[in-house]
């Protein structure tokens, strides 16, 4: 089963990105989603190549945000697609059956469509306001997670759901109680000066005090 903690990379340069990815890996995060927006193809390739090498060293999953062609080119573990990106079905045709394909969702209908199209996991959000994303979908909050997960159970729909968007350490227990699989965070890890402690605490809450 997939790791319950995903780190979505941050940084305006290749150097910043690699530093943040390395820090997350070194402090116990074993799922990296590379998000490097509005950059040249050359820089994206350089970063992806270096980040993949790091993830292989740490035996971590390496997912690329949005860029299916790049994910195929460097043989990443998979790709994460936003609501306005390539269709999951088309990405599957390109990447094949063995690669991980995740999708962003904001509603139950989004989730239903993603599952029908063969999505492996879903990032459902935003939980609350976040400055990480420019075009933010409607805020969900705890109640929406509860109702969406309940509707999934009602219709026997199964796929790992990750909460995303402005999540703090204090939110994790309540979010996990809704029935989600895990969380995806960026700034929470990037900006924390005590990453080992934070990631340990996150994993304790995500896995129920089981050492991972």
Binding residues: 33-37, 65-66, 85, 104, 130-133, 166
The pairing of strands 100-105 and 121-124 is: parallel
Q: Locate tokens 């075009």: which residue? A: 135
28, 37, 68, 75, 147 from 79: Cα distances, Å: 21, 14, 6, 10, 27
Angle, helix 195-207 to helix 14-26, in steps of 10 degrees = 60
Query: Nearest-CA neighbor of 81 among 103, 61, 112, 100?
Result: 103
Q: Which residues are annotated as a binding site for Mg(2+)?
A: 66, 85
Collect all residues with Cβ–Cβ distance below 8 Å to 177 and sequence separation of at least 6. none
The total number of residues shown for the chain amounts to: 212
* Two tokens, residue 175: 């979010």
Give yes or no for a contact between 119 and 63, defined as CB atoms under 8 angstroms apart: no
């Amino acid at each position: 089963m997939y790791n319950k903690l995903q780190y979505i990379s941050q940084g305006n340069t290749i150097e910043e990105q690699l530093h943040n990815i390395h820090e997350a890996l070194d402090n116990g995060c074993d799922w990296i989603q590379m998000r490097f927006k509005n950059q040249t193809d050359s820089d994206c390739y350089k970063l992806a190549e270096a980040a993949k090498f790091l993830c292989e060293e740490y035996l971590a999953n390496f997912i690329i945000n949005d860029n299916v062609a790049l994910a195929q080119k460097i043989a990443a573990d998979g790709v994460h697609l936003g609501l306005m990106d390539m269709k999951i079905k088309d990405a599957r045709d390109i990447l094949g059956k063995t690669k991980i394909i995740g999708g962003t969702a904001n509603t139950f209908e989004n989730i239903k469509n993603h599952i029908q199209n063969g999505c492996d996991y879903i990032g459902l959000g935003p939980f609350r306001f976040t400055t990480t994303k420019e075009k933010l979908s409607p805020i969900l909050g705890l109640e929406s997670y509860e109702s969406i997960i309940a509707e999934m159970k009602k219709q026997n729909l199964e796929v790992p759901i990750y909460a995303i968007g402005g999540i703090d350490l204090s939110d994790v227990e309540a979010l996990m109680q809704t029935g989600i699989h895990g969380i995806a965070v960026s700034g929470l890890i990037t900006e924390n000066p005590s990453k080992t402690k934070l990631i340990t605490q996150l994993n304790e809450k995500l896995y129920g005090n089981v050492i991972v």
